[in-house]
Chains A and B, each alone.
Chain A
């Protein structure tokens, strides 16, 4: 994994055609991420997702049900990590009756804590945007 890409994957006990709508249908998306969504899942369509009050905004680049979805991901009103500044690609692969979902979040600003300079605001912004997926749930820091 390169420095500017974060990857994650999960196996889901349902075929890709059943999983895909959970990535593009606003009512289904908010059941696992965010509190409000307005999605136009077609190339050039907009993605708007509010998570813990952070307005995530982006644009769909590739929409190929049920196997591939690419969209940009940024924060509204943010110069450093504005809409379109990072890219998320999700691939769904059938495996038996399951789906193996692989996600890559690219073009993220560096994740080290900068000591000086402009990197600091990049860093803070990245924290806010990336961590905005952390809706109330298990807090891994309760027992660090």
Chain B
């Protein structure tokens, strides 16, 4: 699971709307598209991004494509949150301390 891809996929409001639509169960692509003013092609593109990020799974039933959420993708991002500020602060620490070392070298 590439968390970065999941986050990018979730960053788009219409893609979050798609997830909201299917949160309670699987839906066919046509029905999902019916909830949007944008073209079916644009909805298909969003579905593709979500699928490639691992957020959705796709199942074929005859000529229909059905989409459902993969909960493990959402869970993985939730766990990622636990690391958000610690990871940022670790970069802050590294930045300040390397600048300090560089200044000390220049001053020496």
Q: Do A and B come from one complex?
A: yes
Contact surface of A with B, Cβ cutoff 8 Å = 6, 8-14, 18-19, 22, 28, 31-33, 52-54, 77-78, 101, 103, 105, 111, 113, 116, 120-121, 123-128, 130-134, 136-142, 144
> For chain B residues 7-35, which have a beta carbon within 8 Å of chain A?
7-8, 10-11, 13, 16, 19-20, 23-24
Nearest residue, chain B, Cβ from A120: B23
Q: Is B65 close to A, CB under 8 A? A: no
Supplied contacts A8-B89, A113-B78, 4 more A-B pairs, CB within 8 Å = A126-B81, A134-B7, A134-B84, A141-B3
Q: In the complex, which residues of chain B have a beta carbon less than 8 angstroms from the beta carbon of A130?
A: 81, 84
Q: In the complex, which residues of chain B have a beta carbon less than 8 angstroms from the beta carbon of A10?
A: 86, 89-90, 92-93
Q: Is the CB of B78 within 8 A of A136?
A: no
Q: Is the CB of B76 within 8 A of A32?
A: no
Contact of A13 among B85, B91, B100 (CB under 8 A): B100
Contact of B4 among A13, A120, A139 (CB under 8 A): A139
Q: Is the CB of A131 within 8 A of B77?
A: yes
Q: Is the CB of B89 within 8 A of A140?
A: no
Q: Is the CB of B100 within 8 A of A127?
A: no
Known pairs A6-B85, A139-B2, A144-B1; A128 contacts B7 (CB<8 A) = yes
CB distance from B106 to the nearest CB of A (A): 15
CB distance from A79 to the nearest CB of B (A): 10
Q: Is the CB of A133 within 8 A of B84?
A: yes
Contact of B88 among A33, A52, A113, A121 (CB under 8 A): A33
Q: In the complex, which residues of chain B have a beta carbon less than 8 angstroms from the beta carbon of A78?
A: 13
Q: Is the CB of A32 within 8 A of B16?
A: no
CB distance from B52 to the nearest CB of A (A): 16
Q: Is B95 close to A, CB under 8 A? A: yes
